[in-house]
A = this chain, B = another copy of it.
Amino acid sequence: MAKKDTGSRVRDALRIDGELPDPGSTPVGPGKKPKALAKLGDAGERLSGLQEALYAEGVGGGTRSVLLVLQGMDTSGKGGTVSHVLGLVNPMGVRYAGFKAPTAAERRHHYLWRIRKQLPGAGRIGVFDRSHYEDILVPRVTGLLTAAERRRRYTEINAFERELADAGTTVVKVFLHISPEEQLKRLKARLVTPEKHWKYNPGDLEARSQWPAYQQAYADIFKKTSTGNAPWYAVPADHKWYRNWAVAELLIETLADLDPRFPEPGFDVDAELAKLKGVGVSS
């Protein structure tokens, strides 16, 4: 059920406005792991309830949806967030899409082409694990994007996200903010643990070596694409337990604001109850 008093405490604290918080910090949230884990359990129930109402609203003809966009350096925990936060709700209501480097076929279309195909339907929570923002980040850092083309993409992306808002999709953009020291630990863990090898990509080191350039590109993105419709949030992500708590709360506040409602029945309940008694089953 929607909790009307959820407010916007976490959103207000994490909305990006200039400097990013320290990746190891725990603003507004529980500062210790046991408390964060307990709160994530509670969050699961609230999130499930809100998600069910949004889904029901969609079945009843509503068109609203939510789109969580996850961005961050390699190992920042995009996959872990999907598993631990979206894993709290009914899979019927979740639509996951991961975006890797575009394929040859995808590159023959506008960069938003493959993005549009993965938008969540009515009543759904969509999750983008990387997104259209990669189409500014990567070519910018690797020097393949002219300043003019970059400006055009900012304009296109802001227009695209306004279109989403107009269509009833609330976009929640989250930057999972880790420190280079934490990334080093996580990359090492991927290399020394055979069952984690599949998560490692030699290209990750290339991106790591360009860390300052990526941070600069992100700073520019936050400045140019934080809009009233679709603000950016920075979630300090060196502590996985804090990251999970924070993303869950951002979703809960967003959904509570939407205040999704179970739809009014499109039938006469008493009449159906009466009919139900009459429909025997001869077998």
A interface residue count range (under 10 / 10 to 19 / 20 to 34 / 35 or more): 35 or more
- What B residues does A267 contact at CB under 8 A? 200, 202
Shortest beta-carbon distance from A79 to chain B in Å:
6
- What B residues does A282 contact at CB under 8 A? 211-212
Contact of A82 among B82, B83, B91 (CB under 8 A): B91
CA distance A212 to B83 in the complex (A): 43
Given contacts A267-B202, A269-B197, A281-B211, contact A82 B87 (CB under 8 A): no
Instruction: Please state if B92 and A98 are interface contacts (CB–CB under 8 Å).
Output: yes
Given contacts A83-B91, A91-B127, contact A188 B59 (CB under 8 A): no
Is there a chain B Cβ closer than 8 Å to A144's Cβ?
Answer: no
Instruction: Please state if A195 and B91 are interface contacts (CB–CB under 8 Å).
Output: no
Is there a chain B Cβ closer than 8 Å to A265's Cβ?
Answer: yes
Segment among A27-35, A166-174, A222-230, A270-278 that sits at the interface with chain B: A270-278
Instruction: Please state if B212 and A283 are interface contacts (CB–CB under 8 Å).
Output: yes
CA distance A202 to B268 in the complex (A): 9
CA distance A220 to B258 in the complex (A): 47
Given contacts A90-B83, A94-B91, contact A194 B279 (CB under 8 A): no
- What B residues does A262 contact at CB under 8 A? 194-195, 197-198
CA distance A240 to B59 in the complex (A): 23
- What B residues does A202 contact at CB under 8 A? 267, 272
Is there a chain B Cβ closer than 8 Å to A20's Cβ?
Answer: no
- What B residues does A265 contact at CB under 8 A? 197-198, 200
CA distance A275 to B188 in the complex (A): 11
- A residues 160-200 with Cβ under 8 Å of B? 180, 184, 187-188, 191-192, 194-195, 197-200
Is there a chain B Cβ closer than 8 Å to A60's Cβ?
Answer: yes
Instruction: Please state if A272 and B90 are interface contacts (CB–CB under 8 Å).
Output: no
Is there a chain B Cβ closer than 8 Å to A263's Cβ?
Answer: yes
Inter-chain pairs besides A83-B92, A92-B96, A197-B265, 16 sampled, C-beta below 8 Å: A82-B91, A82-B92, A87-B87, A87-B91, A91-B94, A187-B276, A188-B276, A192-B273, A194-B262, A197-B262, A197-B263, A198-B262, A200-B267, A200-B272, A209-B279, A211-B281
